[in-house]
Amino acid sequence: MSLPAAATPRTVLVLGGSLLGACTAWALRRRGHRVQLLDPGGNGGGSWAALGVLMGQVFHRSSGRGWRLRQRSLALWRDWIPELEGRGRRIPHRTGLLLLAADAMEEARLRRLAEERQARGIPLDLWEPQRLGALAPALPAPARLGLFSPLDGQLDPAAAITAFRADGRTAGVEAVEDRAVALEPLAAAGWRVERAAGDPLEADWLVVAAGIEALSLLEPLGFHQPLEPVLGQALELELPAPAEAWPGVVAWRGCNLIPRPDLTGGRRLWLGATLEPGFQPNPAPLAALRHLHGDAPSWLSRACVLRQWQGLRPRPVGRPAPLLELLAPGLLLATGHYRNGVLLAPASAEWVVEQVERA
Ligand SMILES: Cc1cc2nc3c(=O)[nH]c(=O)nc-3n(C[C@H](O)[C@H](O)[C@H](O)COP(=O)(O)OP(=O)(O)OC[C@H]3O[C@@H](n4cnc5c(N)ncnc54)[C@H](O)[C@@H]3O)c2cc1C
């Protein structure tokens, strides 16, 4: 890793080593900061359950913080994936996303979106029913229109976490396998973190990237960050034939169909994800997902379920996602990414780096 050094290297302790934490630790180290990454280990975070869909260009708004973060993150993924792969890290990814309209209202919305983005030079193409009908395997029959975005796409989140962790470690990020139990400001400056097992850790900066568990760490300090869990379930299917001719991810009535020709046998497809408030999975939304709310083409109904999994998304209550905040001198919050933590990880990591270097 070449390190364009920051003017003043800081010590930074990142709490949470899932996608947000691992990516942030990597980005900080890349600038020459001394970084520790504290995580209990395993693959318990929501990031491991994510589908990795990158929906940047088809976002309903085209201004404001959410839009800027999405644009920046897509650009950073485009730079960082080749950088990591150049050092032998593997992140399966592909570009292309086809958003389908199920009814007249969605069709009108997609037409407006295409017009507005094309006027800004953003390449979004409308695909009329004839073109959709030529795709194999067949799309859900009621599809009235498609909006194709060549710059959006998908990547494998577990591979991305593994790549950031491994590349970070090689570059000098110190991984500490433990759980933070209490945070405390130091008298002069900086923060001290009590751990479940080992000795406390101290740093100039503390970055709380612990997903939904950020709440319990911050509340004793008087920070009431309103976050609620939204559970998601997803499936890996084996198809009767590969979905190679699709131009990328297909999104239908809130369900993402993600061909994974790179996985064993070349006929795998990820299907997800349900949106279920709370911590407990419910069989009904999973059954609706499995059959695409009754619109599943026959090849999809015949596919064999190989794997099912679930994870939690941290959703801010009454606030827009994500929560990127300087809570106190030296204390940063980077969580609450809800449905777009994979998309927004690089721009969030960059925001953390800017805060640390601005001080
Ligand atoms: C089914 C599903 C599908 C999704 N699909 C997409 C998608 O297609 N595209 C997209 O962009 N996003 C998607 N998301 C959302 C995305 O996964 C989340 O926004 C993102 O993963 C949140 O990442 P995070 O690192 O903040 O939290 P998490 O991944 O939950 O990680 C939190 C980490 O903090 C650690 N931790 C917790 N407590 C402590 C502590 N006390 N001390 C130290 N460490 C601690 C945990 O071990 C964990 O590693 C999906 C989510 C789900 C569940």
Instruction: State residue 59's pLDDT score.
Output: 81
Q: Is the CB of 168 under 6 A from ligand 1?
A: no
Cα 229 from Cα 211, distance rounded (Å): 9
Kindly give the number of the ligand 1 atom that is closest to the alpha carbon of 233.
1
Q: Is the CB of 15 under 6 A from ligand 1?
A: yes
Kindly give the number of the ligand 1 atom that is closest to the alpha carbon of 336.
26
- The DSSP symbol for 138 reads P
pLDDT in tens, 197-236: 999 999 999 999 999 999 999 999 999 878 999 999 999 9
Residue nearest to atom 12 of ligand 1 (CA): 340
Instruction: State residue 2's pLDDT score.
Output: 56
Q: Is the CB of 44 under 6 A from ligand 1?
A: yes
pLDDT in tens, 99-153: 999 999 999 999 999 999 999 999 999 999 999 999 999 999 999 999 999 999 9
CA proximity to 154, closest of 243, 229, 216: 243
Instruction: State residue 243's pLDDT score.
Output: 78
Instruction: State residue 241's pLDDT score.
Output: 86
How far, in Å, from the CA of 187 to the mean position of ligand 1? 32
CA distances from 150 to 96, 100, 214, 300 (A): 4, 14, 35, 24
How far, in Å, from the CA of 57 to the mean position of ligand 1? 22
Instruction: State residue 4's pLDDT score.
Output: 64
Q: Is the CB of 336 under 6 A from ligand 1?
A: no
Tell me the pairing of strands 227-238 and 304-316.
antiparallel
Instruction: State residue 87's pLDDT score.
Output: 97
How far, in Å, from the CA of 33 to the mean position of ligand 1? 24
DSSP assignments along 147-214, one per residue: EEEEEEEEE-HHHHHHHHHHHHHHHT-EEEES-EEEEEE-SSSSEEEEESSS--EEESEEEE--GGGH
Sequential pLDDT tens for the chain (359 residues): 655 677 799 999 999 999 999 999 999 999 999 999 999 998 878 899 999 999 999 988 878 999 999 999 999 999 999 999 999 999 999 999 999 999 999 999 999 999 999 999 999 999 999 999 999 999 999 999 999 999 999 999 999 999 999 999 999 999 999 999 999 999 999 999 999 999 999 999 999 999 999 999 999 999 987 899 999 999 999 998 887 889 999 999 999 999 999 999 999 999 999 999 999 999 999 999 999 999 999 999 999 999 999 999 999 999 999 999 999 999 999 999 999 999 999 999 999 999 999 97
Instruction: State residue 348's pLDDT score.
Output: 98
Instruction: State residue 43's pLDDT score.
Output: 80
Burial 242-255 (b: 16+ CB within 10 A, else e): bbeebbbbbbbbeb
Instruction: State residue 1's pLDDT score.
Output: 64
Q: For domain 11-358, give the fold.
A: FAD/NAD(P)-binding domain (3.50.50)
Instruction: State residue 62's pLDDT score.
Output: 79
Instruction: State residue 306's pLDDT score.
Output: 97
